[in-house]
Chain A
């Protein structure tokens, strides 16, 4: 792993979605449209258009932009749940560039099964991130300390009985204990009480000290200022500005007609 290698390198990313508009989805809709002689209308929505960027190892970068500007698509491409239509995205600095260790803190707890207990979900979620049962069991105490439930018994209760706050706390606790090289954060910090939010920020600061790479999407500029040293403003599927956080926030707010 050489320090000069970027953690994430995106070249000429292009991504578009086809949105089919006819009454019903599925076979019935297709048949219905055919019988009535309507051609299925396909709208092509471009989510990313020729986006190139390099994110260095250890950088903390915020993605700014209005809804539909392509932030989430870019994050999904980084998380490798989507493939670009054109262009490439690579992780040259990863120990195994084909399998970068990415912790997607996108809707934390997405992998939780409501009928399994907290403990069962911890083990299972870990294995999605590529950790063995043994490795997760070693981290169990630390994960529980982070989630910090009022009663130990909650860890043995099905997660469907959890409050939404507990759900997020456990999801976050698992995600930050998976040795990620790259951490993708999507608005997750807005949930949980203040004390928990502080703990999350502390954990992110620790990640930053450890030299891990963070990509962060938020509409909360205080959070952006706190975490990111660099910001990228996406608008109309393209990069509008890329630079130090304050400058980019200033330009972004200027375009929106908002004060800083």
Chain B
């Protein structure tokens, strides 16, 4: 019952899957405890965000390419999953210390439950995005051939892989920070700051391809910067959501401040299969190493001063 290997720990956690399920339900029940509309808010939130971005990029921001809002949303919703998943996970153990001190259950269920609860929310926003994209494809606003309804790229079938690797990444980071936050409450605040910065370091409000086109980065440094971007699994994940769901476009000169036209090929040409596989391995490693880290600390939680 004492020291166990990682697989043994995972098997022990699996025994408690019913509790995991109840923890997820509880998380969702509590989130909208005092609201009359309850879970409808989970749906309202992405809808309102989508509407705002559509209006902003259509009427307010000049030089935005056609359907820019769809391209932003395709990365923005996954980013929200990443952001809330990690912020919620920070306190997932420290908030439950009363329980942890009194009853035995595999402690890793706590960050896992937070992650799964956020995954369920993400499915709702993916649904909202899906409906918006169906409309755009149906009115052939997203296709090169005017008049015929468009189809999303075939890579759309890889979407489950993408959701899986993102969830592994979030779960892995959740293991690290939920365990650390028990001992150092600073971790929670530090995470919030890092995530605020990261928002601008990954392609959400810009296209990944613009990194190569911008004048802000000296030519000599561009190959390095480009590789640095692609080594970041969050960049790969967000860029891939776009490329898996949306067709490639030509950005005209002048749009988004470009001084020459830029082809945004969102297939596997920008994020190469090698980069994609590398990112997948990184996500998997973060999850497994996070689990090992969490397990090495979890018996000390109750002894925290």
Q: Which of A's residues lie within 8 Å of B, judged by CB?
A: 17-20, 25-28, 76, 79-83, 88, 90, 98-99, 102, 104, 106-107, 110-111, 113, 115-116, 120, 123-124, 127-130, 132-133, 158
> At the interface, yes or no: B221 with Cβ under 8 Å from chain A?
no
> At the interface, yes or no: B5 with Cβ under 8 Å from chain A?
no
Beta-carbon contact of A27 and B98 below 8 Å: no
Chain B 3-26 interface mask (CB, 8 Å, partner A; 1/0)? 000000000000110110010001
- Given the known inter-chain contacts A26-B185, A98-B1, A123-B22, please indicate yes or no for A20 contacting B102, CB distance below 8 A: no
> At the interface, yes or no: B269 with Cβ under 8 Å from chain A?
no
Q: What is the interface of chain B mostly: helix, strand, loop, or mixed?
A: helix
Which of chain A's residues has its CB closest to B19's CB?
Answer: A127
Q: How far is the CA of A9 from the CA of B113 in the complex (A)?
A: 34
Beta-carbon contact of B186 and A110 below 8 Å: no
Q: What is the interface of chain A mostly: helix, strand, loop, or mixed?
A: mixed
Q: How far is the CA of A98 from the CA of B184 in the complex (A)?
A: 32
How many A-B pairs have beta carbons closer than 8 Å: the answer is: 79
> At the interface, yes or no: B49 with Cβ under 8 Å from chain A?
no
Q: Which of B's residues lie within 8 Å of A, judged by CB?
A: 1-2, 15-16, 18-19, 22, 26, 29-30, 33-34, 98-105, 183-187, 299, 302-303, 305
- Given the known inter-chain contacts A28-B186, A98-B1, please indicate yes or no for A107 contacting B305, CB distance below 8 A: no
Which of chain A's residues has its CB closest to B21's CB?
Answer: A127
Q: How far is the CA of A99 from the CA of B103 in the complex (A)?
A: 13
Beta-carbon contact of A116 and B26 below 8 Å: yes
Q: How far is the CA of A20 from the CA of B105 in the complex (A)?
A: 28
Which of A83, A110, A111 has a CB less than 8 Å from the CB of B2? A83
B192 → chain A, closest Cβ, in Å?
15
Q: How far is the CA of A123 from the CA of B185 in the complex (A)?
A: 31
B22 → chain A, closest Cβ, in Å?
5
Q: How far is the CA of A133 from the CA of B34 in the complex (A)?
A: 24
- Given the known inter-chain contacts A110-B98, A110-B102, please indicate yes or no for A76 contacting B33, CB distance below 8 A: no
Beta-carbon contact of A82 and B302 below 8 Å: yes
Q: How far is the CA of A49 from the CA of B122 in the complex (A)?
A: 51
- Given the known inter-chain contacts A83-B299, A110-B98, please indicate yes or no for A19 contacting B305, CB distance below 8 A: yes
Beta-carbon contact of B19 and A81 below 8 Å: no
22 inter-chain pairs at a CB distance below 8 angstroms, sorted by A residue, are A17-B303, A25-B185, A76-B302, A79-B103, A80-B1, A83-B299, A104-B103, A107-B102, A110-B98, A110-B99, A110-B101, A111-B99, A113-B30, A115-B34, A116-B30, A120-B26, A123-B22, A127-B22, A129-B103, A130-B16, A132-B18, A158-B33
Beta-carbon contact of B29 and A116 below 8 Å: yes
- Given the known inter-chain contacts A27-B186, A116-B29, A116-B30, please indicate yes or no for A128 contacting B103, CB distance below 8 A: yes
| Top 8 A-B residue pairs of the complex, sorted by shortest distance between their CB atoms | A80-B104, A110-B102, A115-B33, A27-B186, A127-B22, A26-B184, A111-B99, A127-B19
Residues of A within 8 A of B100 (CB): 81
Q: How far is the CA of A110 from the CA of B185 in the complex (A)?
A: 22
B154 → chain A, closest Cβ, in Å?
42
Residues of A within 8 A of B29 (CB): 116, 120
Residues of B within 8 A of A129 (CB): 103
Residues of A within 8 A of B15 (CB): 99
Q: How far is the CA of A219 from the CA of B15 in the complex (A)?
A: 37
Residue of B2, B99, B104, B185 most packed against chain A (CB within 10 A): B104
Residues of B within 8 A of A116 (CB): 26, 29-30, 33
B236 → chain A, closest Cβ, in Å?
31
Residue of B33, B102, B185 most packed against chain A (CB within 10 A): B102
- Given the known inter-chain contacts A26-B185, A27-B186, A124-B22, please indicate yes or no for A111 contacting B102, CB distance below 8 A: yes
A94 → chain B, closest Cβ, in Å?
11
B31 → chain A, closest Cβ, in Å?
10
B284 → chain A, closest Cβ, in Å?
29
- Given the known inter-chain contacts A27-B186, A28-B186, please indicate yes or no for A104 contacting B305, CB distance below 8 A: no
Beta-carbon contact of A79 and B22 below 8 Å: no
Identify 18 new A-B residue pairs, CB closer than 8 A, beyond the known A20-B305, A123-B22, A158-B33.
Answer: A19-B305, A25-B185, A26-B186, A27-B187, A81-B103, A82-B303, A83-B2, A104-B102, A110-B99, A110-B101, A111-B98, A111-B102, A116-B29, A124-B26, A127-B18, A127-B22, A132-B18, A133-B18
Q: How far is the CA of A173 from the CA of B22 in the complex (A)?
A: 20
Which of A26, A81, A90, A110 has a CB less than 8 Å from the CB of B104? A81
Residues of A within 8 A of B102 (CB): 79, 81, 104, 106-107, 110-111
Q: How far is the CA of A119 from the CA of B101 in the complex (A)?
A: 23
Residues of A within 8 A of B99 (CB): 110-111, 128
